[in-house]
Structure 1
Amino acid sequence: MMKHRKVAPPKAHWLLLCSILAFAAFLLALNAVFLGEFNGDETAAPGTATDVPTTVRAGGSLVDAHGAEPVSSRPGERTIALTFDDGPDPEWTPAVLAVLARYQVHATFFETGARAAQHPELVRQVLAAGHEIGNHTASHTDLRDASALRQNLELQATDLALADAAGVVPSLVRPPYAATPSSVDDAEWQAIRRIGAEGKIVVLSDLDSGDWRQPGADRIVANATPRDNRGAVVLFHDAGGDRSQTVAALERLIPQLRAEGWTFDTVSRSAGMTSADTPADLRAKLAGLLFVFAVHLGGFAEDLLTVLMIAAGVLAFARAFLVLVASLVHLRRAPRERGPGRAPVTVIVPAYNEEAGIEATIRSVLASTHQVEVIVVDDGSTDGTAGVVSGLGSAQVRLIRQRNAGKAAALNTGLAAARTELVVLVDGDTVLDERAVRTLIRPFVDERVGAVSGNAKVANRGGLLGLWQHIEYVIGFNLDRRMYDVFECMPTVPGAVGAFRRSAVLRCGGVPVDTLAEDTDLTMALQRDGWRVLYQPRAIAWTEAPATLGQLWHQRYRWCYGTLQAAWKHRRSVLEPGQGGRLGRRGLPYLLLFQVFLPVLAPFVDLAVLFGLLTGQSAMLLGYWVVFQLLQLIPGFVAFRLDREPVLPLLALPLQQFVYRQLMYLVVLQSVVTAVAGVRLPWQKLHRRGIGELRAPTGSEAVTEPIELPHPADVRPIVRGGSRRR
């Protein structure tokens, strides 16, 4: 039995869920921006340049735009500054470093924040070899199209990544897709001005090797060879693609230019500047550590969500396959043997404030093709429920009134008052098909059967909410119960309609009063006591479903929380033999996996799908969504055909993914949080509107009488060899 601490209901679960989803979204955004698809460095066609100073377009490749007037400079005469963009890369950066080390040449590497965060050891290797590093933005974005905020984030993020990787903050910046000073346009000039305002120097290039086009080593060498004696900054790449041609070109270019009297150095030293690599302070190092951790955590989050999406798809396929095969087996089985013919049956109706629908319920029961006695237990109603029952005037109806004690207590009252071995339990908002009782009792010819589940259907199907619940009842409940029947692990005989062997229920202690899902709790207890529980799909009853989202929330919250209570209460059935073991090793895992575990993960899968649609993965996700819909539509079609229902409502099935499903997984999340907190929920009564009336036989006045519930020890069991496991 579950024990509950007396604590206040959790108030922060919505805040907690929103915070977790927001944090996950933040991590995904980091991952998309800084670890997303990398676009190689290509020179873009320049735009208009009416605002670019002549001193910049005609000047050198180093631009200091910090002051009122920009200052341009370049390497000294016959001095080459080799620069490498887009790295570091685990394959090509070491290859480039090896060539430079062989010829004892120092260069400048413009690193992206994303790759620096992924490969910090390579950044340290670059600096340890005497080279300098520069900022090439975090995600290799074109700063001409970026806002001032995006530009600042790109540069700051890269500084943080480099501070974490090597403990330095560079003052050199090369904007991606930048070319020579003469190609600077107005948009790029605005980006350069913003960079200068941060005290950083922009490094363009005098010569573009064009290695990003992979034109061959000969062409790369020709492009990188100066046309005169002026110093030059030469652009190469050590990442962003296959750089074997770059490595081959360097092997020829360096000795060739040296033989012609050229010298090589870093950008800052070749231009007569002090070192561009500023040591990072403790604050920058800590911020860099946190940033890099968040970026890697974002990558982990993306991988995890991808796994969850795949797992959800696999589980959806497995469930569809399992329920379809089980339904086929269930359908092909021989019909249940004809039951105990004219065996007397008592229908017990617990009622609390059911004035709107109790008359229709009783009239439908009295119209049954099987002779029945009806016991209505008025559980302290404050409306006219008792008056409606008394006014029916039927000798087959007994009315028992008691103080309000809850549905389980009302059922126990009815069980104690019943004079028959077979009883049918029906909710006070349910209308029975005239053949339901006769169909329910047929399997009891087998003395091992302790309970039989009927087929509850939604009566009030008007409106989208009613239609969605109708679909859920037909697909989820119908197919699942067929599968549970085949595998002999039925977790629930619904309170709306189910038949029981009275002595079996009393042997188990009566209807449990310590959980909110008394029907699930009782069903599990019966199986642990050795009884079989079956499903009769033709025993149909129509029940009134919640008419508003608020009522639906309260109902499902109670159901889910009660199911968790019952599952925890009967957890030891996993280790038991026989019927109890089948419940524990088959029914409980399926119940927890598909009704608890997957709904808890569903918000994050939805987040991954939404984020994927916003980041250019719509085609793949659309295909996933279509497959997922088919995995629901196919079982849905089968379920509707098996239940002889019109299939037209299935057109509303896709819409369930956008409102109804979210409501259901929020219900599960709140239930799990409440259960973990140890809070005991009260029973929540739904407002009933009534679902119609049926004609009933006439007779004498209903009977009102007090009763007492016998002690379970006084009840004689009828199953030999059964073991009571509570």
Structure 2
Amino acid sequence: MSPTTTATLTVTVIIPAHNEELGLPATLRSIQAQSIPPEKVIVVDDASTDRTGEVAASYGVTVLRPPRNLGSKAKAQNHALPHCDTDLVLAVDADTVLAPDYIERIKPAFSDPAVNVAAGNVQTRFARTPWERGRSTEYLFGFHWHRPIQQLANSPMVCSGCCSVFRRTTLTEFGGFPERTIVEDMDFTWSQQLDGHRAVYVADAMAWAADPETLTYLRKQVWRWMAGFMQNVRLHLPRLLTRKPMLATWIIVALLEILLAPLWWATPLVLTLALDEPVARTMAWWAGGELLLTVPALLYAARRRRLPVGQVLFNLPFVYLNKAVNLYYAWKALVVELVMVPLHLSQGLVIYEKGR
């Protein structure tokens, strides 16, 4: 497929929405403002009890209303898939805002016929609460450090489900958005790479997601993400070791990070006891190591995104609140999904709960 051909690729946007009347207008406005507009926009009003359907209809998009709540994001997306006849499908969350050139920047990725899924750079829309501030630091670091390295190695860990673009024929042949795990984006990303296709991270295609404002919703989202990650490890890792070893390497590193994180967090206490050093000194060593590992990447990200450095550094301490939540649910997911499920002691996480 030549670069000139990608300009003619047609796009359908699918937006699954359950009780999203407040956030949906900003999402739809961002889609209407695209420099290359999509051919069709479909909102799946998944048994909302608010005015989600009416709000969507006021923007002139196609609104589909399943007869009952479908129970997950993937199922809502699959409800819309038969109504798509374009070359590409762009899945957008109902609380995500796209940059005006998002479609324009991501289309060229599909000039390579091996590319079946691509997604851009996701950042936080709001940084008002401690949890949002912590997430903003996580995203700045992850999307300007981990993702570029994974892209250079041709092994992205995930094409973010809030703004991923798919080849429609491949997605349909695969059976639609995967419903077998609780995180369809990671499942599809790994599955395509296992089958010899490519997943691509497009750094300059920007999207902004609304993240959990409270601890209650953060816990729900992180539990879903961590359980979904472990479900995919259980489902895919054995084959990835032989078919896509570089992707398997990132996954194993992530697992080791989860396993070793408690030791790293306990390092100041261990050094205090082992070396008989004052706790203030060992804490300073530990904090210095943390800053050395994180600040350079954050400063680079701030420059790339033209963000105030002071604001980025102000948000940094809040990331440790999020890290504590992440670690708790990562260990819970490891035990439940990788130990209890294989032993038939648990079904694992099967109920999809929104993270905000």
Secondary structure, in 3 states, of the residue corresponding to 2:191?
A: helix
Q: Aligned partners of 1:355, 1:647: CA distance in 2, in Å?
A: 34
Distance 1:605 1:623, change over 3 A: closer
Q: CA deviation at 1:615?
A: 5.7
2:62 equivalent among 398, 407, 411: 398
Q: CA deviation at 1:647?
A: 2.0
Q: CA deviation at 1:573?
A: 2.6
Tell me the percent identity.
30
Q: CA deviation at 1:591?
A: 3.1
2:328 equivalent among 651, 660, 666: 666
> Are the aligned partners of 2:272 and 2:279 in contact in 1 as well (CA < 8 Å)?
no
Q: CA deviation at 1:589?
A: 2.1
For 2:256, the equivalent position in structure 1 comes to 593
Residue 561 (structure 1) aligned with residue 227 (structure 2) = yes
Counterpart of 1:668, as a letter, is A
Q: Aligned partners of 1:602, 1:515: CA distance in 2, in Å?
A: 30
Secondary structure, in 3 states, of the residue corresponding to 1:576?
A: helix
Residue 636 (structure 1) aligned with residue 303 (structure 2) = no
> Are the aligned partners of 1:339 and 1:443 in contact in 2 as well (CA < 8 Å)?
no
For 1:684, the equivalent position in structure 2 comes to 353
1:517 equivalent among 183, 186, 211: 183
Q: Aligned partners of 1:663, 1:614: CA distance in 2, in Å?
A: 31
Secondary structure, in 3 states, of the residue corresponding to 1:354?
A: coil
Secondary structure, in 3 states, of the residue corresponding to 1:659?
A: helix
Q: CA deviation at 1:654?
A: 5.1
TM-score under structure 2 length normalisation = 0.89
For 1:432, the equivalent position in structure 2 comes to 98
For 2:196, the equivalent position in structure 1 comes to 530
Q: Which moved more, 1:672-681 or 1:435-444?
A: 672-681
For 2:284, the equivalent position in structure 1 comes to 622
> Are the aligned partners of 1:354 and 1:429 in contact in 2 as well (CA < 8 Å)?
yes
Q: Aligned partners of 2:275, 2:320: CA distance in 1, in Å?
A: 15
Distance 1:556 1:613, change over 3 A: farther
> Are the aligned partners of 1:379 and 1:407 in contact in 2 as well (CA < 8 Å)?
no
Q: Aligned partners of 1:616, 1:583: CA distance in 2, in Å?
A: 42
Q: Aligned partners of 1:345, 1:533: CA distance in 2, in Å?
A: 18
Q: Aligned partners of 1:601, 1:378: CA distance in 2, in Å?
A: 45
Q: Aligned partners of 1:550, 1:420: CA distance in 2, in Å?
A: 39
Q: Aligned partners of 1:651, 1:543: CA distance in 2, in Å?
A: 21
TM-score under structure 1 length normalisation = 0.45
Q: CA deviation at 1:613?
A: 10
Q: Deviations over 1:519-570 (max 9, x none)?
A: 1011111111111111111111111110012211111111011111112111
For 1:366, the equivalent position in structure 2 comes to 32
Greater relative CO (CA pairs within 8 A, separation 6+):
2
Distance 1:573 1:589, change over 3 A: same
> Are the aligned partners of 1:599 and 1:668 in contact in 2 as well (CA < 8 Å)?
no
Residue 384 (structure 1) aligned with residue 46 (structure 2) = no
Q: CA deviation at 1:456?
A: 1.2
Q: Which moved more, 1:507-516 or 1:442-451?
A: 507-516
For 1:652, the equivalent position in structure 2 comes to 314
Q: Deviations over 1:60-110 (max 9, x none)?
A: xxxxxxxxxxxxxxxxxxxxxxxxxxxxxxxxxxxxxxxxxxxxxxxxxxx
> Are the aligned partners of 1:609 and 1:621 in contact in 2 as well (CA < 8 Å)?
no
Q: Aligned partners of 2:152, 2:274: CA distance in 1, in Å?
A: 40
Q: Deviations over 1:288-331 (max 9, x none)?
A: xxxxxxxxxxxxxxxxxxxxxxxxxxxxxxxxxxxxxxxxxxxx
Q: Deviations over 1:255-278 (max 9, x none)?
A: xxxxxxxxxxxxxxxxxxxxxxxx
Distance 1:599 1:415, change over 3 A: farther
Q: CA RMSD in A?
A: 2.4
Matches within 5 A, 1:162-311: none
Q: Aligned partners of 1:581, 1:413: CA distance in 2, in Å?
A: 34
Counterpart of 2:261, as a letter, is P
Aligned residues: 345
Find the structure with the greater CA-based Rg.
1
Q: CA deviation at 1:599?
A: 3.4
Distance 1:615 1:339, change over 3 A: farther
> Are the aligned partners of 2:222 and 2:325 in contact in 1 as well (CA < 8 Å)?
no
2:168 equivalent among 488, 495, 502: 502
Q: Aligned partners of 2:297, 2:304: CA distance in 1, in Å?
A: 10
Q: Aligned partners of 1:613, 1:655: CA distance in 2, in Å?
A: 27
Q: Aligned partners of 2:8, 2:150: CA distance in 1, in Å?
A: 29
Counterpart of 2:220, as a letter, is H
Q: Aligned partners of 1:614, 1:551: CA distance in 2, in Å?
A: 41
